[in-house]
Amino acid sequence: MRPVSIVPSVLPADFARLGEECAALEAAGVDRIQWDVMDGVFVPNLTFGPDVVAACRKHCSVPFEAHLMVVDPDPTLERWVDAGCELLIVHAESVRHLHRTLARVREVGASAGVALNPATPPSAVEHVLDLVDMVLVMTVDPGFGGQAYLSSMEPKIAEVRRLIDERALDVDVEVDGGIGPDTVGGAAAAGANVLVAGSALYRDPDGLAHAVTDLRQRAEAAQTA
Ligand code: DX5
């Protein structure tokens, strides 16, 4: 079993106080923080650039990952590393030369992740699994928080996990979109060990720390069920 990681999306956070929000997430026990980078083209929404991430870097020490929902990630890869991101996730659908882009991510000193939109099959990344540290299976169509979890992605999560394991690679499987108390078990049982959650963390009446612990316990229980 791969260790479970709980990774918040900052999309539901108060953008006027992002530094403090990052510190609060760290205090709540998260393992990493995901920055949802949207360019208004690859997805129909716009969020933030590397300068915002850099400004928040000094407010916490928990690792950052950048989920690059942009049409052309190559020119800005170094900017995200300079801003303090340790892991860069590019979408398989966003680049012409995925093999080259993933190799470039490692060249600029980051860990590499590759993301699959719901309609994209695992075969799209089968031949670059040796170049990544993580595969992100989107469980919603990217662009917005608060959407419903696509349980139809669970066979795909299992297929990605199988492709990785049959090659004996040290690669995590992350899921993102609609993850909460009622859905995290299905994703973890299918093979995901890194769980991104946005609205479910911020709507927990018992607070962030309770939400993080609850998701982690449910995922770990599902892994061993
Ligand atoms: C959507 C983003 C997700 C989203 C998750 O495109 O990639 O990270 O913010 O939010 P919830 O957990 O609310 O679906």
* pLDDT tens string 44-79: 999 999 999 999 999 999 999 999 999 999 999 999
Instruction: Tell me the H-state helices in 90-207.
Output: 98-107, 154-166, 184-190, 199-202
Nearest ligand 1 atom to alpha carbon 67: 7
Q: What's the pLDDT score for residue 133?
A: 98
Catalytic machinery residues: 36, 176
CB 153 within 8 A of CB 118: yes
Residue with CA closest to ligand 1 atom 4: 145
Atom of ligand 1 nearest to the CA of 45: 6
With a cut of 50, which residues of the chain have pLDDT below it?
Answer: none
Residue 180 Cα: closest atom of ligand 1: 12
CA 217 to ligand 1 center in whole angstroms: 21
Q: Are 76 and 54 in contact (CB under 8 A)?
A: no
Amino acid at 167: R
145 CA distance to ligand 1 centroid (A)?
4
- At 1 the pLDDT is 81
Do 50 and 57 form a contact (C-beta atoms < 8 A)?
Answer: no
pLDDT attached to residue 202: 97
Distance CA 187, CA 195 (A): 8
- Which residues form ligand 1's pocket by a CB distance below 6 Å? 9, 11, 34, 36, 67, 140, 142-147, 176-179, 196-200
In angstroms, the CA 154 to CA 216 distance is 18
Nearest to 143 by CA among 222, 39, 26: 39
pLDDT on residue 82: 98
The count of C-alpha atoms lying within 13 angstroms of the C-alpha of 200, restricted to the half-sphere facing its C-beta, is 25
